[in-house]
Amino acid sequence: MENSSRPHRYLIPFDTSDVPHIFTDVLVIGSGVAGLRAAIEAAEYGEVLVLSKDTVREGSTGHAQGGVAVAMNGAQSVQSHIDDTLDVGCGLCDESVVRTIISEGPERVQELIRWGATFDSEDGELLFAREGGHTHRRIVHARGDATGAEIEATLVAEAQVHRNIHILEHSCVIDLISEDGVCHGAVFQHSTKGMMMAWSRQTILASGGTGRIFRETTNPPVVTGDGIAMAFRAGAKLMDLEFVQFHPTTLYIAGASRALISEAVRGEGGALVNKNGERFMTKYHPDAELAPRDIVSRNILQEMKRTADTNVYLDLTHIGRETLAKRFPMIMGLCAEFDIDIAQDLIPVRPSAHYTVGGIATDLHGQTNIEGLYACGEVACTGFHGANRLGSNSLLEGLVMGMRAGEAAGNFLHRLSKSFGPRHIKYPAERGHQSDIDISDVEISLRSLMWRNVGIERHKDTLDAAAERLEFWQTYVMERTFDNPAGWQLQNMLTLARAIVRLAQARSETRGCHYRSDYPDRDDTHWQKHSFIDRNTQEMTGV
């Protein structure tokens, strides 16, 4: 990245003496599985403030269908779960991180059950599903395909009754406040209270991924990468951002959101067919529909090209109406809204951006390279997922790393002064005004560019073209001051899009969910290493 695209330290000018202040021991930014689990743990040590961009339940967690991958089934072991995770991660997983998270998973799930979560069971025994990349059935699920909603509801209820936790909804965090490499909180805009400063002794980022950077995505509108971008501006090191996972099967109907059609559908026998009714995954991979997500996504794209169609189809007609209604009630209801009866009709599907594998680099306690700043969940990168996430390992990681980050932040409080006050920080900025930019138009163009040039298939020429276009947009978008979330989100999306492209340009190989058609082979000799980028060096380095 060139100096011309270096981001300003803060998106807005401000003077801390001119805005209201809130004080808390631990600030948690984000209210999904990782954020709420972190808040619950940190609340054992002090006061916790949770800032939610929208309502507390509006985020990726509540939309998760599949379940939690966890080694609780006696028919398989912790080691087999580790092996599957390492295999799908294509040589970039940190094995010690994988072992820790998977080993601690059963305790976290049992904890949810104690707090009231109800997972699907039969005769008192948990039911386990299988998804792509898994060699055993190890996915616990709730209400068929509503696992994320069940977990979110459980954690929200647990957080709301805790006397040390305060949740503030409709709070758009703009930037982290830091001085000399130490995080002191954040500046945010509340929907009715206006601009505010949240001062904290410790801060935990759990704001999710970057899916909305792409035109086709399963992610809800709030997932615009704000946390990763604000951490980048504060000096945090980002890791492996070129690895973006595209879910193979999302509903593809004009007028419908790109709703996820859970991988568990294929785990229960759903078959992928082309427009001619031919099942095709059997010719591409021995595990057919249950191959890792990157392989299924690429081969769906290949089949679409071969048959000159805009999508492929999921065939569930052989499974039976009663089983489908019990196992996938949400999917059945969603499709019914578009006159698709999944018990007798094919479901049109195609891949969409689904999960940000990379993120803010952290250790096993969620600690970033910025003192006082932790990150957990999809916003973070621990080395757990490597180059491609194993299905249903995301909720697992959110539970385990949320708890670990909350515990670490809470434990550190006793080392800090109990009394702290606001710092006087004045950040002036002379920039252009926002009125002469159509924010929506730039965002649509950005998302289309990223889908077209930086999507499932990448090539030097398309990546170079994307980099040139992004740099041009940055020259006038990043130099303006916006006063609303839409403008800040656009600036965050541009910042992260440029970082993703930079690292995708540098990684001249194919690995996991990063596919380069001009470098179609995996190259362990040169590229079995992580990639890093930060705002100071703005270069890629490997370890």
Residue 424 resides in a domain: no
Does a structural domain hold residue 6?
no
Q: Does residue 167 surpass a pLDDT of 80? A: yes
Residues 210, 101 share a domain: yes
**Together in a domain, 33 and 153:** yes
Residues 92 and 188 in one domain: yes
Q: What is the pLDDT of residues 64-77, one digit of tens each?
A: 777 999 998 765 68
Q: Which residue is listed with tokens 């009714």?
A: 277
**In this structure, what CATH number is given to the domain that contains residue 492?**
1.20.58.100
pLDDT at residue 76, rounded to an integer: 61
pLDDT tens sequence across 459-496:
999 999 999 999 999 999 998 999 999 999 999 999 99
The CATH number covering residue 331 comes to 3.90.700.10
Helical ranges in 161-282 per DSSP H? 226-234, 263-267
Indicate whether 111 and 228 sit together in one domain: yes
CA distance 194 to 172: 10
- Say what the pLDDT of residue 266 is: 86
Q: How far apart are CA 187 and CA 48, in angstroms?
A: 16
Q: Are residues 237 and 105 in the same domain?
A: yes
* Cα–Cα distance for residue pair 251/472, rounded to 1 Å: 34
Per-residue pLDDT at 258: 74
Q: What confidence score (pLDDT) does residue 196 get? A: 96
460 in any annotated domain: yes
The model carries a pTM of 0.93
Whether residue 345 sits in one domain with residue 312: yes
In the block, tokens 């670990």 appear at 404
Q: Given pLDDT bands bounded at 50, 70 and 90, which one contains residue 4?
A: very low
Cα 29 to its chain centre, rounded Å, is 14
Are residue 480 and residue 408 in the same domain, yes or no? no
The reply to whether 502 falls in a domain is: yes
Which regions of 223-343 does DSSP assign to beta strands (E)?
238-239, 244-251, 271-273, 312-315
Domain boundary among 328, 351, 374: 351
- Which structural domain range is residue 435 located in? 431-538
Choose one of 351, 371, 406: the last residue of a domain: 351
Q: Identify the pLDDT of residue 261.
A: 86
Q: Which of 138, 293, 298, 458 is catalytic?
A: 293
SS3 50: strand
In the structure, what pLDDT confidence band is assigned to residue 435 with cuts at 50, 70 and 90? low
Residue 433 binned pLDDT confidence (cut-offs 50, 70, 90): low
Q: Taking CA 254 as the corner, what is the angle to CA 249 and CA 260, rounded to the nearest 5 degrees?
A: 25
The answer to whether the beta carbons of residues 460 and 518 sit under 8 Å apart is yes
CA distances from 386 to 85, 143, 543 (A): 9, 30, 14
Q: Does the structure show a pLDDT above 60 at 180?
A: yes
In terms of domains, do 225 and 113 share one? yes
Instruction: Give residue 431's pLDDT.
Output: 63
Examine residue 160 and state whether it is found in any structural domain, yes or no: yes
Residue 9 lies in a domain: no
Last residue of a domain, one of 306, 332, 351: 351
Is the distance from CB of 70 to CB of 393 less than 8 angstroms?
A: no
Least confident of 230-234, 286-290, 438-442: 286-290
Q: Using pLDDT thresholds of 50, 70 and 90, give the confidence band for residue 542.
A: low
Q: How many domains does the chain have?
A: 3
If you compute the radius of gyration of the chain from its CA atoms, what whole number of angstroms results? 22
Same domain, 61 and 147: yes
- What is the percent of the chain where pLDDT is above 90? 74
For the ranges 37-51, 170-184, 313-327, 398-412, the lowest mean pLDDT is seen at 313-327
Domain CATH number, residue 94: 3.50.50.60
pLDDT category at 131 given cuts 50, 70, 90 is: confident
What pLDDT score does 334 carry? 86
pLDDT in tens, 341-350: 999 999 999 9
Q: Is the pLDDT assigned to residue 146 strictly greater than 90?
A: no
Angle in degrees, 0-180, between the axes of helices 147-160 and 95-114, rounded to the nearest 10 = 70
Are 297 and 378 within one domain? Answer: no
Same-domain pairing of 109 and 235? yes
Say if 16 falls within a structural domain: no
Cα distance between residue 498 and residue 469, in whole Å: 10
**Interval 414-428: pLDDT, tens:** 888 776 778 888 888
Beta strands (DSSP E) in 257-410 are 271-273, 312-315, 347-356, 359-361, 373-375, 380-381
Cα atoms in the Cβ-side hemisphere of radius 13 Å centred on 150: 23
Residue 422 lies in a domain: no
Predicted local distance difference test score (pLDDT) of residue 1: 39
Confidence of residue 3 (pLDDT cuts 50, 70, 90): very low
pLDDT exceeds 80 at position 37: yes
Give the C-alpha separation, 83 to 95, whole Å: 9
293 among known catalytic residues: yes
Q: Based on the fold, state whether residues 73 and 99 are members of the same structural domain.
A: yes
The pLDDT tens digits for 229-273 are 999 999 999 999 999 999 999 999 877 777 788 888 888 889 999
